Structure 1
Amino acid sequence: MSSLFEPYDLGPIRLKNRFVMSPMERSRARNPDWAPDAETARYFSQRAGAGLIVTGSIAISAWARTWAFEPGLYTQTQIDAWRQVTREVHDHGGVIFGQLRHGGRASHVSHQPNRQSTVSATDKAAGKAISMAFDASGQPAFLWQGKPRALRTEEVSQIVGEFAQAARNAREGGLDGIEIHGANGYLHDQFINGALNDRDDRYGGSIENRIRFTLESIDAVVDAIGADRIGIRLSPYGRYNEMPAFDDEAETYLTLAAELSKRGIVYVHFSDQTRWADDVSIPTTYLREFRNAFRGTVIVAGGYLKENGQAAIDTGEADLIGIGKPFLANPDLVERLRNDWPLNAWDEDTFYTAGPKGYTDYATREQR
């Protein structure tokens, strides 16, 4: 029986263990270029004990921006800055994928060029969802997401191209691969959702049409960097950013899983929101059904640690285990779990602040 602490072959990449540092937004690109800096390089390299690191979300273009101080991958300055991050991670023996995102309506006009409207599959607003954005005085604040405009049909292909270019930029910047953020109410999820997507063009209506944008994005990125360097994050039954339930939700994601399997991408990262959202439930057998449809590597994330992570491996529900906040507070998390050492507690007040506090100043066991 496989152990969480044993190596794993993720396509052509040998991972030192089955732990994944899941993507977490940290709002540390606090410069005019929206580029990662030396502290970001230190942050990720400190956590290179993970088998795989997936960065927090990275904007694929100026109009894809979603969260205050989010780094990008659409300028040469940003590419060069990521190269410094990845060099340090690799020097510490780590593997790092970049998570590429377009927020769609889950954004704010302060992030958009010339304060233009956000965009989506629809013109329906979330209503009560917030984003970390910039207030009238230019200061960071948690603000209501506004009313989007529905993307024109030809604009969808433009965004597909931007994902492909961002993937090329990621590889130029030394990232080992990329993960498309198709979960948690961001743009791909907005198209997939049958209750939200009210389009009457080839991107709306049937399951085939609603998953078309996601598959076109995958196909373009496969052409750009190869399937064995690509993952995607999905959140079936997720309600974050006010994503409504819809009638054929199970069938939609199983159809998507089968199509992703045909394309040979290296993994699907399954975001389970049941442990942090009261209004979310997933059918008991659904993850196993998903695994039967998708034949590649499956990462599960959402409240996992050593015991329940190992159980997910043992039952065949997952190949790799994604862990978020415990990695944030414990740079040496894998060794702490291996030896059953106590864990540091994370400081929520520093999740989205500036400087090293709550970012690179968490002690390892040896430093205590």
Structure 2
Amino acid sequence: MTDSSLFKPLTLGGLALKNRIALPPLTRSRSSQPGNIPNDLMATYYRQRASAGFMVTEGTQIEPRGQGYAWTPGIHSAAQVEGWRKVTAAVHAEGAVIFCQLWHVGRVSHTSLQPDNQPPVAPSALRATAVKVFIETGPQAGALAEPSEPVALSTAQVKELVELYRVAAVNAKAAGFDGVELHCANGYLVNQFISEHSNQRTDEYGGCLDNRLRFLREICAAVISVFGGERVGVRFAPLFETTAEERVYLGLVETDPHHTYIEAAKVLQELGVGYLSIAEADWDNAPDLPASFRAALRQVYHAPIMYSGRYTEAKAKAVLAEGYGDLFGFGRTFIANPDLPYRLRHGLALNPVDGATLYGGTERGYIDYPFSNA
């Protein structure tokens, strides 16, 4: 058993993290329009939570086709880079560390969110089901919609996407981020390549698992060329139980999810990726991640591992004590408690989250949660 204190420092990519409590990537849909530009409101939000040992931004699309929800920020235009500079400056002024999560939704999008209202792109022309995307219907107004049918990427277009990831990493570095995290989870583009359910390609990016991991391998190498391996993270969401309907949409439950993601972790180890982030199922009555998977992951991947999903202080300390994890993301709890590390250290009560203000809107439910007076 190891030290279970969440306040023991950790070094990640040469960066000194003051605690093991992380702000994980959390979509909030507050960017300025037009242009999906990070703004002062977002800078305040992240600065308020800078007592986290480690911070990862909300999913940030690497190109216009990467957007799947209204008002999410990008990292592909000069104005977006300037907007993110406000965020990184605010966070660094508090002595905190922040990575940018590079995101492409692939097929989980709608034509109204795509350039020139074109279909979204994906590994294969298979529509995402059992999911809704949030589209803009007017100023500060939106509605849920079914994802549009995607078009399959050509082999050349896949290689162009690898380059777009590299450019996004260049932009993230110019914006002042300490590193980047690749969003390879939750049924989005990279996950669509990995999944045997959503990838029916017959070229070098489809078929056997090694081929389905090729896109992951190439985009990791591309962003490592910009930041170095130690400043790059990857997020997976391995899921071991779900319904057939969820399986088709998410692409997370493989015939053998243990084998799929252990092999994926081996790829990261070989490339020298600086940390691995595991997003666990977070809905009510969701299955726990098997201890056997955590143990196997630790055997093949030797850099820090971060876990998120329905984490409480007690659960995080238990996984830390077992030696399976190093960092722990507290999602909605951190949304509602900007001073979460202080509250956990002192055993203080936690604010409840307002579910009605999670996505889109103004400062309400975003930067107006109270800090503790204790």
The answer to whether the superposition gives a TM-score over 0.5 is: yes
Helix, strand or coil: the match of 1:132? Answer: strand
Q: Look up the match of 1:340.
A: 347
Equivalent residue for 1:56, pick from 32, 50, 58: 58
Is the 2:6–2:19 Cα contact (8 Å) retained in structure 1? Answer: yes
CA-CA distance at 1:362 after TM superposition: 0.5
Q: Indicate the residue corresponding to 2:182 in structure 1.
A: 180
Identity %: 36
User: Are the equivalent residues in 1 in contact too, given 2:196–2:251 (CA < 8 A)?
Assistant: no
Partner of 1:243: 251
Mapping of residues 126-141 of structure 1, within 5 Å = 126-135=128-137, 139-141=141-143
Deviation readout 1:41-85 (Å, 9 max, x if unpaired):
000000000001111100101111121101010111111111111
Query: Aligned partners of 2:254, 2:18: CA distance in 1, in Å?
Result: 39
The answer to whether the 8 Å contact 1:127/1:146 transfers is no
Q: Name the SS of the counterpart of 2:56 in structure 1.
A: strand
Does residue 359 of structure 2 align to residue 352 of structure 1?
yes
Q: Closer, same or farther in 2 for the Cα pair 1:180/1:216, shift >3 Å?
A: same
Of 262, 268, 273, 1:260 maps to: 268
Shift in alpha-carbon separation, 1:93–1:210, aligned structure 2, 3 A: same
Contact 1:270 1:300 (8 Å CA) reproduced: yes
1:305 paired to 2:288 = no
- Please tell me the residue identity of whatever aligns with 1:99: Q
Task: Check whether the contact 1:194–1:248 (CA below 8 A) recurs between aligned residues.
Answer: no
Deviation digits for residues 220-265 of structure 1, max 9, x if unmatched?
1111221111001001127664326322322121111111001111
Asked whether the equivalents of residues 237 and 281 of structure 1 are also in contact (C-alpha less than 8 Å), the reply is no
Q: What residue is the counterpart of 1:288 in the other structure?
A: 295
2:254 and 2:260 in contact (8 A); partners too: no
Q: Which residue number corresponds to residue 204 of structure 1?
A: 206
In structure 1, list runs of 5 or more residues that go unmatched: none
SS of structure 2 residue aligned to 1:285: helix
Maintained 8 Å contact 1:30/1:354? no
Among 329, 334, 344, the alignment partner of 1:327 is 334
TM-score, normalised to structure 1, is 0.96
**How many Å separate the matches in 2 of 1:244 and 1:277?**
18
Partner Cα distance (1:42, 1:287) in 2: 35
Aligned to 1:39: 41
Match of 1:171 in 2: 173
User: Secondary structure of the equivalent of 1:147?
Assistant: coil
Residue in 1 that maps onto 2:90 = 88
User: Which runs of no fewer than 5 residues in structure 2 stay unpaired?
Assistant: none
Q: Which amino acid aligns with 1:224?
A: V
For residue 363 of structure 1, what is the aligned residue in structure 2? 370
* Offset at residue 322 of structure 1 (A): 1.1
Letter aligned with residue 195 of structure 1: H
Q: How far apart are residue 294 of structure 1 and its match?
A: 1.0
Quick one: which amino acid aligns to residue 263 of structure 1?
L
**CA RMSD, Structure 1 to Structure 2 (Å):** 1.7
Name segments (4+ residues, structure 1) moved above 3 Å: 135-139, 238-242, 277-284
Shift of 1:126: 1.8
Could you tell me which amino acid in structure 1 is paired with residue 94 of structure 2? Answer: H
